[in-house]
Structure 1
């Protein structure tokens, strides 16, 4: 698997699957989640509502992943995963790592060749950016997957530079 990073907007990535840093309700929110729902259109929300009316009636648990249509996005699927909220008193690192592993597992089931990830939990969930980059790169490098390309899509230039340097040394 080739791991790359780009500076840009995840909703504009032409890939098989885009990973959404969702909240457990799957019904949209702020940050990456809100952007994906807005740009992807009502098909994504309808698919998420179907999941909530079915086996995910209680919401998507932290660290798990599930796929829906990508609606109007230039991707085929959206893989929704719920990252952990950072805590100074509890180590939730394994939950963050499971977001990446479980998203790639879903991508494998979909036979996705290329997947775009945001930096999970580093926004409103307050995970320290340097550690979020470390967890993403380390976990993605260790995953056994048939996905050919994983692309970290970063919105801020300083985060992009941090990720680029980390990927080069991994």
Structure 2
């Protein structure tokens, strides 16, 4: 990824974040929780990218400078934050079973999404052959949702205890 691509991605996801905040009628505490969840999951994602690169399940874009690493992390954190408004609503309505479905959906939808990205933009990375990269990518997506939602819950409190809970 080039720096302009990272900036465009970050801006587009910032618009999605603003829309998620507006349409979910999020309180300030829930917004703080989602941003904290995005920050924590962003750390998980960066570590996962580096570990996957090190063990050879993929070759990924790795920023060349510290400034680009920070920009990439910021974009990752902002792009993940809207997810946690959805998981919060699902947890509020369906409880643990709903969250389990969210984790499964993330694990199923994530790898094809990434394979589509690298097919469209080969300079962004490449996956190794076999099932291992698919399983690793699915595990990362499950972790992104789980870590981010857990941190959001720590900051915002449980969804069932919310004034919006049913």
**TM-score under structure 1 normalisation?**
0.27
Q: Which has the larger radius of gyration?
A: 2
- Determine which structure has the larger helix proportion and give its number: 2
- Determine which structure has the larger strand proportion and give its number: 1
